[in-house]
Structure 1
Amino acid sequence: MDVTVISAFLGGLLSFLSPCILPIIPAYLSYISGVGVSDVETQKGKVNWKVFFSALYFVLGFTLVFTGLGASATFVGQLLHDYQEWIIRVGSGLVIFFGLHFAGVFLWKHFLKVYIPIGILIPVLYFLKLLSWNEFFNLMFAYAVVLILYLVKAHEFLYRQLKIEAKAEISYLGAFLMGVVFAFGWSPCIGPVLGSILFLASQQETVAKGALLLFVYSIGLGIPFLLAGLLFSLFLNFVRSFSRYFKYVEIAGGVLLVSLGLLLALDKLSLIANITF
Structure 2
Amino acid sequence: MIVLLIFAFLSGLITILAPCIWPLLPIVLSSTTTGGKSKPLGITLGIIISFAFFTLTVSYIVKIIPFDPNLLRLFAVIVIGFLGLTLVVPKLTQIVEGWVSRFSGKFADLTRYNSAPGSAKNKYQGFRGGLITGFALGLVWSPCAGPILATIATLAATQTVNAGIILVTIVYVIGVGIPLFIFATIGSRFFSQTRALSPYTGYIQKIFGVIMILTALAIFTNYDKVIQVKLLDAIPSYSNFLFKLESNQAVKKQLEVLRGKKQMPEKAPMNKNIIMVTPSSSLPNLGPAPEFAGIEKWLNSDRPLTMRELRGKIVLIDFWTYTCINCIRTLPFVTRWYEKYKDKGFVVVGVHTPEFEFEKNTNNVLGAIKQYNITYPVAQDNDYKTWRAYDNHYWPAKYLIDVKGNIRYTHFGEGEYEETEMHIKTLLKEAGEQVDAKTVDLEDQSPTMRMTPETYLGSSRRVFGSYDLEGNWDVQKEYSSSSAGSALEINFFADKVFLVITPLTGEDKVKVILDGKVVNESNAGRDIKNGYIRFSEEHPNDLYNLIDLQGNPSNHLLRLEFESEGTK
After TM superposition, is the score higher than 0.5? no
Shorter chain as denominator, the TM-score bin is 0.3 to 0.5
Question: More relative contact order in 1 or in 2 (CA 8 Å, sep 6+)?
Answer: 1
TM-score by length of 2: 0.23
TM-score by length of 1: 0.43
Query: Higher strand fraction: Structure 1 or Structure 2?
Result: 2
